[in-house]
Structure 1
Amino acid sequence: MNRRDFIHTSCLTCAASVGLLSFLQSCTTNKYVSNFKVDQKKLSVKRAEFTVVKKGKTIQQKFILLKPENSPFPIALYQLPNDQFKALYLECSHQGCELNPYETALVCPCHGAEFNTKGEVTQGPAEASLKTFVTSSDAENVYIQLA
């Protein structure tokens, strides 16, 4: 294979991959929750908000999105293994763009920085982890300490 054929094949493969990934990505929807309470710098959301019924099937969401009043960015609340939760502020630590949350990562559309569901940088250019909030839970609710 000569250089020209290699470049042509590589470009076609990349283009096909991007098209396929964007199609798969569009099959999922992010769930914004508006039914939450804020009381003395603590936000509470029902655990049931992680459960969605679609076409008669019950689906357990990996995360939900919350947009507190007067907050420029939403908060992604991830449900982790062992009944743990992680609340991440969706502002990129690189240059302040709003992150796109996915089940296993958060991606900055501005410069491509990536973070895991614990808010840690997995790919630059960002160097600092995301802002996180202390969480706690009981049988019915998950609590996010805002300050």
Structure 2
Amino acid sequence: MSANELTRRAFMKAACLGAIGSALVGCAGVPRYLLQPEAAAETVSVPISAFGDDEHLVLVPPNGRKTFLITREGDEYIAVELSCTHRGCGLQVRSDELHCPCHGSRFTPRGEVLQGPAQVPLKMINVTRQGDMLLLGKNDVLSIG
């Protein structure tokens, strides 16, 4: 194999990092993102401290296929899959809107459609607060994709 050829592992790593970048491109205030380590438990946990002073946090699960936006609104936390319901393109987080770079759909951080062609809201992920941690259903997060 020549030095210019990518191995499958290198290609997948670059593709995953590109997916993370596409979720963050064009952000007025780029949200924090957290790469979630492989977990054996039935839940995926996120420390509330990971938000810092930000309202949004992008979660990248270990399978790297889908990313999720967790939004803090006061004491409430909402999580949505960052995948357009029109054709499945990765969404860009822009200030208080989510944009689809493929066909122009726009969503609120709660997943509601602001502009089509998407007709269906984003997939919501169950979030439970337990002390200083947020728990996301592992089946919700890891089975998507």
For residues 81-111 of structure 1, give each alpha carbon's deviation from its aligned partner in whole angstroms, at most 9, with x where no partner exists: 3x11111111100011000013311110111
Residue number in structure 2 paired with 1:121:
113
Residue number in structure 1 paired with 2:88:
96
Residues paired across the two proteins, number: 114
Identify if the C-alpha distance between structure 1 residues 38 and 92 changes in structure 2 by more than 3 Å, giving closer, same or farther.
same
Larger radius of gyration: 1
In the alignment, structure 1 residue 79 sits paired with structure 2 residue 72 = yes
In 2, the alpha carbon distance for the partners of 1:113 and 1:43 equals 29
Residue number in structure 2 paired with 1:48:
49
Higher RCO, 1 vs 2 (CA within 8 Å, ≥6 residues apart) = 2
Residue pair 1:136, 1:143 contacting (<8 A) in 2 also: yes
Larger strand proportion of the pair: 1
For residues 44-96 of structure 1, give each alpha carbon's deviation from its aligned partner in whole angstroms, at most 9, with x where no partner exists: 01110111xxxxxxxx1111111111141211111113x11111111100011
Q: TM-score by structure 1 length?
A: 0.70
Residue number in structure 2 paired with 1:3:
none
Residue number in structure 2 paired with 1:7:
none
In 1, the alpha carbon distance for the partners of 2:120 and 2:32 equals 27
2:124 paired residue among 83, 107, 132: 132
Residue pair 1:37, 1:44 contacting (<8 A) in 2 also: no
Residue number in structure 1 paired with 2:57:
64
Unaligned residue ranges in structure 1 (runs of 5+): 1-24, 52-59
Secondary structure of residue in 1 paired with 2:114: strand
Residue pair 2:36, 2:60 contacting (<8 A) in 1 also: no
Sequence identity of aligned pairs in percent?
27
How far off is 1:41 after superposition? 3.6
RMSD after superposition: 1.9
Secondary structure of residue in 1 paired with 2:44: strand
Map residues 21-40 of structure 1 onto 2, 5 A cutoff: 25=26, 28-34=29-35, 38-40=39-41
In 2, the alpha carbon distance for the partners of 1:71 and 1:27 equals 24
Residue number in structure 1 paired with 2:13:
none
In 1, the alpha carbon distance for the partners of 2:130 and 2:36 equals 17
In 2, the alpha carbon distance for the partners of 1:119 and 1:146 equals 20
Residue pair 2:89, 2:102 contacting (<8 A) in 1 also: yes
Secondary structure of residue in 1 paired with 2:126: strand
